[in-house]
Amino acid sequence: MTSSPCKPAPKPPLRIGIAGLGTVGAGVVKLLRENADLIRARAGRELVVTAVSARNRTRDRGIDLSGIAWCDTPEELATHPDVDVVAELIGGAEGAARLTVTRALENRRPVVTANKALIAIHGAELACTAQAAGVPLMFEAAVAGGIPAIKTVREGLAADRILKIGGILNGTCNYILTVMHETGRDFAEILSDAQKLGYAEADPSTDVDGVDTAHKLAILAGLAFGRPVVFASVYIEGIRRIGALDLQFARKMGYRIKLLGIACQHENGIEARVHPCLVPQDAPIAEVNGVFNAVVAEGAFAGRLMLEGRGAGEGPTATAVCADLIDIARGSAMPVWGCAADSLTQAVALPSKSFTGEYYLRLNVEDRPGVIADITAVLRDNGVSLRSMLQHADAHEVRPDGTHAVPLVLLTHRTNEAAMQHALHHIAELPAVLDEPVLIRIDAG
């Protein structure tokens, strides 16, 4: 007689407390309900929202919240008797978000968060708190929305030595640069359109000044290199100074301009930087357009891989949050940074002046003899070798004071960041250089 396999005893539901019922929080509630059968099968138990906290209890969020307990403050979820795991979806590195996560971990409650700023700035401290409490801290939704970037780096590439990681990590900037490339319109005009379409916030500083990308890069670099990156050590530069003319020059030279986050491990430390880059038009990352994100990792054994998808929004981000909740329901969780705190490396953060690369330099100069000779002399004196030069005759202008101005673009061979910045300072002081120079790094893509 063949015995039937034993069925495991059914597990009780995983009771979830959600802090923050904005776009993502409401999306999590919807997804858990609409895909309840599928999620139950994959989690091995039911996932149920039992308590929530939000600033406005009366706002219509398009979801039925009857039967769910309300907490006056989000930190109350950390000790609520009907909550097994806290999903922090408030946002921000300080205040209620940090307090809620810290208290939940201290009370041995697993935490799932979509809060990139919190993890980027306080991730090392929170990892120690989670490890001491013996509970998971999960943050798949903190980087690139629905792209499974965290799982890919921390689990899929766990056996490999990652050499480089980064990519296009902000949909707002990618949308602006894409439309500038396609239409020839300037930054300010496209930003205004992006705000009307909901792709950019009323205050877009965190996005367009590169801070959002830097938060995500710091997290990816911490996972890739086994060391939480000190956020203040990340070099950050945004896209405000990129003009339509730069996109035109880039197209002529066979490049696209993208805001990239790039982190590399060197023998002497970790390099982490965010800035606009010229990438070859035939590079896969050059074809990632609109609000899409792309995460690129390069492993010593696995080689190069790229993941592309929507980096924000209700659906993609809620999907990532729920993936972490399913892992917790099954009892599957990795250490925050991929290994125990005492196994983390002590690699130092490299200063920006140590970076090396090729550069694009755009100058608006007075159209008269000797100007190019003066500029190339400064580059020569600083050890910067010139690869090529391009002028845009159609962009010639006569300024109100009668000065004839013309844009000039220079491409350099590989050089040191410190040397390039020193040369740039002296070039800007030349009488014939009429506006502040625009400097863009060149990346192989």
Residues making up the annotated binding site are 19-26, 116, 201
Residues making up the annotated binding site for NADPH are 116
**Annotated catalytic residue within 7, 164, 196, 216:** 216
Q: Shortest CA distance to 144 belongs to which of 25, 273, 309? A: 309
Residues making up the annotated binding site for NADP(+) are 19-26
- Residues with Cβ within 8 Å of residue 56, at least 6 apart in sequence: none
- Residues with Cβ within 8 Å of residue 137, at least 6 apart in sequence: 101, 105, 110, 111, 113, 126, 127, 130, 336
Distance CA 76, CA 81 (A): 10
* Catalytic residue check, 216: yes
Q: Calculate the CA dihedral of residues 321, 325, 328, 334 and round it to 10 degrees.
A: -10
Residues making up the annotated binding site for L-homoserine are 201
- Annotated catalytic residues are 216
